[in-house]
Amino acid sequence: MPRILILCPFPQDIAAGQRLKYEQYIDDWRERGFEVKVSSFMNLKMWGIVYQKGHYFEKIFGTIRGSIIRIFNLFQIPQYDVVYVFMWVTPVGTSFFERAARFLAKKLVYDIEDNVMMQTSNAINPIVKLLRGPGKTRYLIKNSDHVITSSPFLNDFCMKNNIKRSCTYISSSLDTDRFVPTNKYKNDHKLVIGWTGTFTSSGYLDLLREVFVKLAKTHDFKLRVIGNFDYDLPGVDLEVIRWSAENEVKDLQGIDIGVYPLEQNQWVLGKSGLKALQYMAFGLPTVATNVGTTPKIISHLENGWLVKTDDEWLKALATLVDDFELRKHLGQNARKTVLEKYSKHNIRLEYLSILNDQIGTD
């Protein structure tokens, strides 16, 4: 029985970057004869405070705890056929643990999300940015047996830097049996414009603050924010919902229009377009910034609406609030796109092919 050890930063079934990528295929791997062990650096308690201000003692204790777990993992690594690393072996410190894992692993697969190799101001916590060794990600990109990337742009970068030139772009994928549309595309209720994300991506939502305020002066709508943080926006009918696995589907089904704002810079070239795909899976018309991977997913006015400026955002949202037929057209085509290209039923074979190739099985 081939054995896989997964080293990841976050607890299972919590972080979208893990949850909507490799995590949803672990059961499939086990059914196909793999023995899979998952080792998370953070536990649920650490996850609950890691992006909050303060809690310094708990964060230090959580970091020490995670590092001790990784020391035990180093002794376990030789027992496994494949070590699967998501993001980092440890989120802080030098590249010691990454180098040790590479030395001890028979085969190492590295799954990288977003443009994490870029040192930018996007780091939510500047102290964490300072403590995270700059060589961790580049070392894993260069020395892994295979690299799985979150965007075509990031894949091109990794192909140039990986010694074996062994890299694959695999999109985030959705469980289309669970993420199902319920929207009736009617104007018989107050329309809900929705955004979902975490504290780390809340800055993107802030890009639309003025747009929402202006729209509220001419159109009656509710803004639904689904996340793990508090939010306020005076002048807008705002509903803030705490994300939970139990209510995720219901909360997203209650949206009429999804928004996916991004900054237009090098950082976002590594983003996978996950939020857009989530909205699209529910058959929602999605308005998104025309940058990075997004235009590879959305065809303008065919299965979504691509914009760049605040004026374009305002026009798109105002039009969609008024025009239920256009919402229906874009939403239904969006659902079709996800079913054809981004359903987990299709994507699972790409992961399986990589693992079999590393282990040397058919």
CATH number of the structural domain spanning residue 256? 3.40.50.2000
d(CA 280, CA 190): 20
Instruction: Yes or no: say if 147 and 110 are a contact pair by the CB < 8 Å rule.
Output: yes
- Whether 86 and 148 map to the same domain: the answer is yes
Distances (CA, A) of 90 to 98, 245, 281: 8, 26, 33
* Domain assignment present for 182: no
Whether 220 and 135 map to the same domain: the answer is no
* 90 and 199 inside one domain: no
Same domain flag for 249 and 213: yes
Same domain, 158 and 257: no
Is residue 84 within 8 A of residue 101, CB to CB? The reply is: no
Amino acid at 264: Q
CB atoms within 10 A of CB 152: 14
> Domain check: are 209 and 287 in the same one?
yes
Q: Which residues of 156-182 are buried (b: 16+ CB within 10 A; e: fewer)?
A: ebbbeebeeebbbbbbbbbebeebebe
Nearest to 313 by CA among 201, 209, 186: 209
**Do 317 and 351 have their domain in common?**
no
* Continuous segment of H or E residues that includes residue 113: none
User: What would the pLDDT profile of 154-191 be if each residue is shown by its tens digit?
Assistant: 999 999 999 999 999 998 889 999 999 999 999 999 99
pLDDT at residue 132, as a whole number: 60
Residue 303 is part of which domain span? 191-342
Residues 312 and 204 grouped into a single domain? yes
For residue 314, pLDDT beyond 90:
yes
In a domain, 145, yes or no: yes
Average of per-residue pLDDT across 4-20: 90
Whether residue 211 sits in one domain with residue 130:
no
110: β partners: 85, 147
Whether residues 156 and 237 fall in one domain: no
In a domain, 272, yes or no: yes
* Percent over 70 (pLDDT), the chain: 93
Distance from C-alpha of 58 to C-alpha of 107, rounded to nearest angstrom: 34
Model confidence band, residue 131 (pLDDT cutoffs 50, 70, 90): low
- In DSSP terms, 53 is beta-bridged to none
CB neighbours of residue 106 within 10 Å: 15
Contact between 29 and 6 under an 8 Å Cβ cutoff? The reply is no
The counts of H helices and E strands in the chain are 16, 12
Do residues 230 and 352 both lie within one domain?
A: no
Summarize pLDDT for 33-68 with one digit per residue, the tens: 999 999 999 998 988 887 778 888 999 999 999 999
Q: How confident is the model over 208-233, as a mean pLDDT?
A: 95
Question: Mean pLDDT over residues 280-305, rounded?
Answer: 95
Instruction: Confirm whether 26 is domain-assigned.
Output: yes
H or E element, residue 132: none
Let me know if residue 220 belongs to a domain.
yes
Tell me: pLDDT of 271 over 90. no
- For residue 191, give the 3-state DSSP assignment: strand
- What average pLDDT does the segment 244-255 reach? 94
Please name which of 22, 286, 314, 321 lies closest in space to residue 172, comparing C-alpha atoms: 22
DSSP state of 93: B
What is the 8-class DSSP label of residue 174? Answer: B
The pair phi, psi for residue 173, each rounded to 5°, is: -135, 160
Give 266's Cβ-side CA count (13 Å radius).
7
pLDDT reading at 311 higher than 50: yes
Query: How far is it, in rounded angstroms, from Cα 251 to Cα 249?
Result: 5
pLDDT at 124: 44
Assigned token pair, 262: 């991004």
Tell me: pLDDT of 123 over 50.
Answer: no
